[in-house]
Structure 1
Amino acid sequence: MPMKLTFREAGEQDLDSIVKMLSDDKLGSKRERYEQPLPESYLKAFRSIEADPNNELIVACVEEEVVGVQQITFTPYITHQGGWRATIEGVRTASTVRGQGAGTEMIQYAVWRAKERGCHLVQLTTDKQRPEALRFYEKLGFQATHEGLKLKFQK
């Protein structure tokens, strides 16, 4: 029987589950700090996202359990005749539901939200160390049409 996912905007009470999912893979375990209490930086970031009408931190739930998270950012651009884009970031599913379709449903939800907000495209990035994620996104219709670059700052 397939999972029945529901989607909602995350609340402060979800932060523990969110950070746990973000840290539960080989890359996330190197850059996230899942500890009790959670570092204050997570709460500050959450509050900034929550206060911004162009950012949505979405959790996927099975009944009351949070099993997925993604952030959708809506950005206006001068290009494309002043069109809006949606950027999907921080997509994670709990290890207990991986391979069961939760990720597909989450991305489909984000695409639906982008259309609902009048966006003309959805974009995302995936780490080059995650080739399976690239294949997953391509199966959902995303195309690697651009080369993405990042400049990280030292803390």
Structure 2
Amino acid sequence: MADLKSYEVEECRAAFEVYDTTGGGQIDAMYMGPLLRALDVTVTEETVTKAGGNTKPGEKMINFEDFLPIYSDAKKSKDMGQIEDLLEGLKVYDKNENGTMMAAELAHVILSLGERLQDKEVDEIFSLCCPPEDEDGYIKYETMLRTLFAGPFPEKEEEKK
């Protein structure tokens, strides 16, 4: 691919091989979303489906050459909101205008807006990303978003800067 650097292609190849469970040079299309996310591309399930991914195992296979343009397009996609957009949206729930909101209200927002999550997924987000609630049940939502956007290895992001 002309728009991918050689190291990106090799990174893709290495990740692709992890999901190539048979060693036949193809992955099941149900692994497309996890593979893209493993390559640090943030995609919604809708985007994965539009790109050819599916949820049923064994229904469709994708080879590496077909995956590269999907990766390239997903990498360029602006389908994901930026942290500033989310912060602005959460200010609606910031009744005290001090950067905090009720933890229960934040959980409700996460559960009901955007791509649907399960209760256990929201619990995991809260346990990994949310600062402790204060005595009134409020949390600093900006801290939670920044931790969430830092990804699974925030210390590596800090090293890059």
- TM-score range for the pair, normalised by the shorter chain length: under 0.3
User: Normalized against structure 2, the TM-score is what?
Assistant: 0.24
Which is greater in Rg? 2
- Asked which structure has the greater RCO (Cα within 8 Å, sep 6+), the reply is 1
Q: Which has the higher helix share?
A: 2
User: Normalized against structure 1, the TM-score is what?
Assistant: 0.25
Q: Which has the higher strand share?
A: 1
